[in-house]
Structure 1
Amino acid sequence: MLKRFSLVLEGELSHFLQIIKDLAESTRCIHRKNPNLYDIPRTLWIPTHHAHNRIVVFLYPQSVEVTQLHETLGIESEIDLTIRKLKDWAAPRPVEKNLLTMSDTVYVHPEPLGVVLIIGAWNYPWAVTVGPLIGAIAAGNAAVVKPSEVCVHTAKVMEDLLPIYIDKELYPVVTGGVPETQELLRQRFDHIFYTGNSMVGKLIMEAAAKNLTPVTLELGGKSPCYIDKNCDITIACRRTAWGKYTNCGQTCIAPDYILCEPSMQDRIIEEIKKALKEFYTDNPKTCADYGRIINQRHFKRIINMLDDCTIAAGGENDEANCYIAPTLLRDVKPEAKVMQEEIFGPLLPIITVSGVDEAIEFINKGEKPLALYVFSSDNKVIDRIRDETSSGGFVANDCLVHYSISSLPFGGVGNSGMGCYHGKYSFDQLSHLRGCLIKKLNMEGVNNVRYPPHTPKKPTPMKFMFLVFLTCSCEIFFKMEDIY
């Protein structure tokens, strides 16, 4: 049905349109012609389970264990959940009726959207690409998978492994760079799922608007971390350091900066330094648990942010190896370069505020972030920050872990994105939830009141409602008589 996508790599972009048309035709009968639909997510477990052994080769110096933790274990859990719950998610969902529909069958019927375009990111290339694919397949869609061109080796792993285990005609993998992505975006899809930065997210949305294609945008932003004076500072700093420097700071929900009172700054710096030594030894450059910046372009971008900052710890770097040490910045001003965009690297600025009021004010001056963190032993402080700010996710006394909970929606708000996924939210996000009402062809006498002409002789609305109620009650009574 489809020409091999290797043609795309040779520049034959004209085949895209026919490919998308063929996929759209296929997905209309995907449920009927594939009785094993509920087993499809299970087949994804096999390439996911084996992928980390190949991915880790290209993530030097990170260990296999780090790759498993960050890339594949969460996906395996998501697949397992989908296998167990898919029949329930896909079943018709009865809804509450009103008086006029008491005797009707009313329900929500999930159905496939059609063809979904999934554009992945480079920071966790397996997790943020295969994750949406699980939802797309579970919902009965066809999908075109476009891994990020930045992570060339992982894209190759995906291109090699996925066609072995899932239908390569229904779920083709397209590799390539900006021209291939632009050509894909010219085609008509039924949904586009993009993970990446806000600037590209706007371009995706602009392209989608031409066909009124709905989008899910998983973006990012400057996720704040407020450390309150009423908390265990050691634990707060340890958890913040883990959340920030995991994957060398290249995590969309990493704490982007710390807010604290001036009297706490020195203590926070010392505690984070202790945590860094515990996690990555005295020399993170030789530690197998500490990563690298993805490429030299991003290395230079991050280093340029240091121009007007005071380094409290770290700062060592090696451009040839894309290495930047875990770095703490003190007394950072709001107008500093490092505060003008998402850092997406191992720099952690500390901004001092007078207290929770000023922290909330500072957070609300910026764009809505993908995540917001607060460390406090005072529930009133936690509640205030939650209620008086807006963010994609909110976590108290920890970092990142909300991403791992499939029962929570993961997504942004405002500049940090739109839509959500994980677990059932992925299924619903990539389904059309079709409202259905099935009515019988009797009770036409009751329905006559809604037909023209409307004259004084017809029952008033109150009489009409009473008549409907009486008729429905009698019908229910006679049904019960039949049962007993």
Structure 2
Amino acid sequence: MIPELLNNQKTYFKTGKTLCVSYRKTLLKSLLNQLESREQDIIDALYNDFKKPEFESVLTETAIVIQDLKLTIKKLNKWAKPKRVFPVLLNFPSSDYLYAEPYGSVLIIAPWNYPYQLALAPLVGAIAAGNTAILKPSELTPHTSALISDIIKTVFKPEHVTVVQGGVDTSTKLLEQHWDYIFFTGSVAVGKIVAKAAAPNLTPVTLELGGKNPCIIDDTANIKLAAKRIVWGKFVNAGQTCIAPDYVLIHDSNKAAFYKAMQHEIQLAYSTTPKQSKDFARIINTKNFERLSKMLVNQNCIIGGQTDASNLYIAPTVIDEPQLDSEVMKDEIFGPILPVISYQNDSELETIILSYNKPLSLYVFSTNSAKAKQLIQKFSFGGGCINDTIVHFANHRLPFGGVGNSGLGAYHGQYTFDTFSHKKGVVKKANWLDIPVRYAPYNGKLNFVKKALKWL
């Protein structure tokens, strides 16, 4: 089934229909109409999958995709138009251009934590760039995945865009095919499998992965505001966010005040009984619940720590001074658990942060602008914030992606269109003049060329 489906898409791509920008825009407008009219269905599906609050579903899922679609429709003609670049004198007279062409047949593998947004956002860019696409949504969010499949069938021909559902076996079969581009969002471990599968055919890939994202709070930070913004950034989607703060490094002088402020902000957000709050999501499945629960064993939970397996509930939790070799500090947490480690001097920051691979995000809370800038420049990471968390994701003018172990490539806004486009350079030479110096025979021309090159 999958090889036949892919062959049909490759055949459709060869017809050249997707090269027509007006055709792409027509389909994107149709997709936009579908998504706007079925927004409540999407919200309901997300709730049924893991009790995602309606506010979070709109803010982090549906609104982002709708805004992205509107931007793409508005800007597509400009993005797709050949870009004229300044020519070199060696080619005089000439006009030089960059042409954006689609790669062809692309595979998009989406994750479960933002199963709607992280499936549709890259798909929008792939279609805008003129590709055909097969989208593999997460099997862990069946309600959302089924709805995405239904919407795609309504808008696109199967030879243009198709949703293929299934588990690990399906992903494996998809990765065995020869794609023109692969876009994967998920764990580092699976990202390495995707890269390995792409290697034999030299298929280009974008890997949106993750890592242990540090959050630094120095001795000058506004603690009340820091706590408020960290509570939101950490516990939105029950901490199941790749750019959520993974652990806090706080100056020793501020730790007591920070704990008090965190307790206050968690109660303001989720009440004294977060389990009853309609604004707090659940862990995606039993496997992840058990993984997270093990991180709480033998830890000093200053806040939270309560769990309920029957409800896949883990309370917003703050852990005081875990050992660096403990379970909670080994890998990315991806849940509502926040370890806090105090430090006294900046050398300790460097020792801890550099003991991990390059993170997807890094956050600094400080009123010392010079210090904050120094920390941002000192460490390598995908993207981040000063005096806030996760909001860099919201700006389509900023590329979103990792570095090193946290990812390869970037997208958002025009960057998504560019990701799914091959940029080919073209030189258009004029016929009215043909300078003969480059042609053989070369006798007597070398000295002239050397002198000329010095001035170019």
Work out the CA distance in 2 between the residues paired with 1:351 and 1:104: 61
Residue of structure 1 aligned with 2:25, choices 35, 38, 42: 38
Work out the CA distance in 2 between the residues paired with 1:89 and 1:323: 45
Query: Do the aligned partners of residues 398 and 464 (structure 1) sit closer, same or farther apart at CA in structure 2, a change above 3 Å counting?
Result: closer
1:424-463 CA-to-partner distances (Å, cap 9, x unmatched) read: 000001000011111134433x1x3222332126761156
CA drift of 1:377 comes to 0.5
CA drift of 1:270 comes to 1.1
Residue of structure 1 aligned with 2:10, choices 24, 31, 49: 24
Work out the CA distance in 2 between the residues paired with 1:46 and 1:35: 17
1:145-197 CA-to-partner distances (Å, cap 9, x unmatched) read: 00011112211111112211233330000001111111111101111000000
Structure 1 counterpart SS, 2:335: coil
Residue of structure 2 aligned with 1:111, choices 80, 101, 104: 101
1:85 aligns with 2:75: yes
Residue 190 of structure 1 aligns with which residue?
A: 180
Query: What amino acid is the match of 1:233?
Result: I
Query: What amino acid is the match of 2:2?
Result: F
Residue 450 of structure 1 aligns with which residue?
A: 438
Query: What amino acid is the match of 1:438?
Result: K
Give the alignment's Cα RMSD to 1 decimal: 1.8
Residue 319 of structure 2 aligns with which residue?
A: 329
User: How many residue pairs align between the two structures?
Assistant: 452
1:225 aligns with 2:230: no
CA drift of 1:376 comes to 0.5
Query: Do the aligned partners of residues 131 and 33 (structure 1) sit closer, same or farther apart at CA in structure 2, a change above 3 Å counting?
Result: closer
Question: Which has the larger Rg?
Answer: 1
Residue of structure 1 aligned with 2:295, choices 302, 305, 317: 305
Work out the CA distance in 1 between the residues paired with 2:330 and 2:321: 16
Work out the CA distance in 2 between the residues paired with 1:252 and 1:422: 16
Work out the CA distance in 1 between the residues paired with 2:142 and 2:174: 18
Work out the CA distance in 1 between the residues paired with 2:19 and 2:251: 61
Work out the CA distance in 1 between the residues paired with 2:126 and 2:192: 22
Residue 439 of structure 1 aligns with which residue?
A: 429
Work out the CA distance in 2 between the residues paired with 1:386 and 1:399: 14
Residue of structure 2 aligned with 1:425, choices 403, 411, 415: 415
Structure 1 counterpart SS, 2:201: coil
Identity of aligned residues (%): 38
Query: Do the aligned partners of residues 86 and 35 (structure 1) sit closer, same or farther apart at CA in structure 2, a change above 3 Å counting?
Result: closer
Work out the CA distance in 2 between the residues paired with 1:58 and 1:457: 76
Normalising by structure 2, report the TM-score: 0.95
Alpha carbons 1:99, 1:465 under 8 Å: kept: no
1:45-194 aligned at under 5 Å gives the runs 45-49=32-36, 50-51=38-39, 52-59=42-49, 61-194=51-184
Query: Do the aligned partners of residues 457 and 406 (structure 1) sit closer, same or farther apart at CA in structure 2, a change above 3 Å counting?
Result: closer
Query: Do the aligned partners of residues 332 and 203 (structure 1) sit closer, same or farther apart at CA in structure 2, a change above 3 Å counting?
Result: same
Work out the CA distance in 1 between the residues paired with 2:152 and 2:293: 37
Normalising by structure 1, report the TM-score: 0.90
Which runs of at least 4 in structure 1 moved beyond 6 Å after TM superposition? none
1:323-362 aligned at under 5 Å gives the runs 323-362=313-352
Query: What amino acid is the match of 2:201?
Result: N
Work out the CA distance in 2 between the residues paired with 1:399 and 1:34: 37
Work out the CA distance in 2 between the residues paired with 1:335 and 1:104: 62
Work out the CA distance in 2 between the residues paired with 1:151 and 1:299: 15
Structure 2 runs not aligned, ≥5 long: none
Query: Do the aligned partners of residues 32 and 221 (structure 1) sit closer, same or farther apart at CA in structure 2, a change above 3 Å counting?
Result: closer
Residue 448 of structure 2 aligns with which residue?
A: 460
